[in-house]
Amino acid sequence: MERLWSPWRAEYIDSFKEQKEHDNECFFCTAVSDAEHAREHLVLHSSKHAIVMMNKFPYNNGHLLIAPKIHTNDILALPDEVFADVSALTRQCVSVLKEVYSPQGFNIGANLGRAAGAGVPSHLHYHVLPRWNGDTNFLLVISEVKVISEDINETYEKLFVHCSRW
């Protein structure tokens, strides 16, 4: 296995040692409580127990987030009906993304805890990330730039049409 060394990441890692003012903010809870402005929060669908929203900083077109409406970071604390709702929405997201974008694969998962890479460690959420052969390259590695080929508002409109049918 080859290793790429990136000592500049130490600054990023060190940034988690002290709690920041925004650590108590939760954009998932804001989106749930402000349903009137769902579009502004990039919410595509709201079910009884969970929401589906677009990632504001996507890895690829169609990068979706599914989060329970209850604020918890503990997967074991989710009531069965909430877990079932989140799981069903995950499947529906895959179906919609297949129909709209025809990806060649998917990454689906959750980062439980900051050490696991969670950007919002206080609120459990799942990522559904469509993938295509060759969708990553060294531009990301050498310049920390990711090319997203579609405007986020255009992506929202395409996906919302399908998600509104649920």
The pLDDT of 149-162, averaged and rounded, is 92
- pTM for this model (two decimals): 0.81
- Specify the pLDDT at position 143: 59
Q: Where are the alpha helices (DSSP H) in the chain?
A: 9-14, 27-33, 80-101, 138-143, 152-163
What domains can you pick out in the chain, each with its CATH number?
27-163 (3.30.428.10)
For 41, 97, 108, 130, 134, the CA distances from 105, given in Å and listed in that order, are: 26, 10, 10, 6, 11
The pLDDT of 108-122, averaged and rounded, is 92
